[in-house]
Amino acid sequence: MRRELERIEIPDEHEARERAWRLVERAFAEREPQPQRRSWKPIAVLAVALVAIAGLLSPPGRAVLDEIRQVVGVKESQPALFSLPAAGRLLVLSDAGAWVVDRDGSKRLLGDYREASWSPFGRFVVVSRANELVAMAPGGDVHWTLPRPDVRFPRWGGSRTDTRIAYLSDGELRVVGGNGKGDRLLDSQPADRAPMWRQGAGHVLVYQRRDGTIRAVDADTGAELERKVPPETFLSQADLALAHDLLGVGDFATPVRSPDGRWLAVGWAEADQFVFVRAAGGRQIRAVANVSAQFRSRSFPTIAGWCCAP
């Protein structure tokens, strides 16, 4: 059988080899450690963003800014490698679709989906494309699909045994059970922003309406729990992060936190890098270069989540 398998003709075999060799040769040449000059502009962007992040985690201040500058200046990145600095798996969105990245850096394309979110304990992923919401295992096995028009911002929340998925469809905010059943309308006037589940008991969803107000509602009953109150008075730290996004305070790629809480991952589009910042136990920064190419994307990929330690 080996001879027969080797005799099978493959279209453009020779050309493919030459194309591949050119790429590999170039990647090998670029692999050599190059002293990099960093302009202060991207550093400033990163620093400002990280100060914003730090503001959500610890008291912001000049010291933090200086520390970040110092860390960025001391280049510790290994741009050719792509392994995660902490346990768990990343969800990444690129022009090619939704990807799962394992800790060792191996990647799996789930399919041509434009958005994705982990289930609360990382056992499943909810993905969406124009007219479909899909729940699947990280390995790619589809559990259920729900046809809906113009699906956006799917977000999965809840406990280990009882979960809900919130999403926007055709300009409406809807909620469906984690098993794909019980789909219902929650609000017909949501803003065009991602909702977020509040951590803790119950299924409390925080989202913004088109009139600018922020609401916290019981997703099962639709009852409004809080509304248009300054975020500090009723939002948890996680909610503050949400409010930060909802209110458009920062447009730097939204950071995601590692499952152990020690690392933050942010996208740094200008440098085409994912940057991992250790937020506990001593500052460290690790960078992954050539992110767009690695995820077959023309536009800069987005880190959609980091979950969960096996």
Give the interface with other proteins as residue ranges (CB under 8 A).
Answer: 1-2, 4-13, 16-17, 19-21, 23-25, 27-29, 31-32, 80-82, 97, 105-106, 108-112, 136, 140, 142, 296
Residue found under tokens 């799962």: 100
Nearer to other proteins, 263 or 295 (CB): 295
**Closest alpha carbon to 269 in 293, 296, 246, 291:** 291
Sequence-distant (6+) residues with CB within 8 A of 46 are: 68, 72, 252, 266, 268, 275
Q: Counting beta carbons within 10 angstroms of the beta carbon of residue 6, is it exposed (0 to 12), middle (13 to 18) or buried (19 or more)?
A: exposed
Q: How far is the CB of 90 from other proteins (least distance, A)?
A: 16
Q: How far is the CB of 300 from other proteins (least distance, A)?
A: 19
Asked if 262 and 253 touch (Cβ cutoff 8 Å), the reply is no
Q: How far is the CB of 306 from other proteins (least distance, A)?
A: 20
In the chain, the N- to C-terminal Cα span, in Å, equals: 40
Nearer to other proteins, 12 or 232 (CB): 12
Q: How far is the CB of 248 from other proteins (least distance, A)?
A: 33
Nearer to other proteins, 13 or 211 (CB): 13
Q: How far is the CB of 112 from other proteins (least distance, A)?
A: 5
Nearer to other proteins, 56 or 137 (CB): 137
Q: What three-state secondary structure class fits 83?
A: coil
Nearer to other proteins, 112 or 150 (CB): 112
Nearer to other proteins, 138 or 190 (CB): 138
Phi-psi region of 158 (alpha: psi -120 to 50; beta: other; left: phi over 0): left
- DSSP 8-state assignment for residue 190: B
List residues bridging with 208 in a β-sheet. Answer: 214
Q: How far is the CB of 145 from other proteins (least distance, A)?
A: 10
Asked if 124 and 136 touch (Cβ cutoff 8 Å), the reply is yes
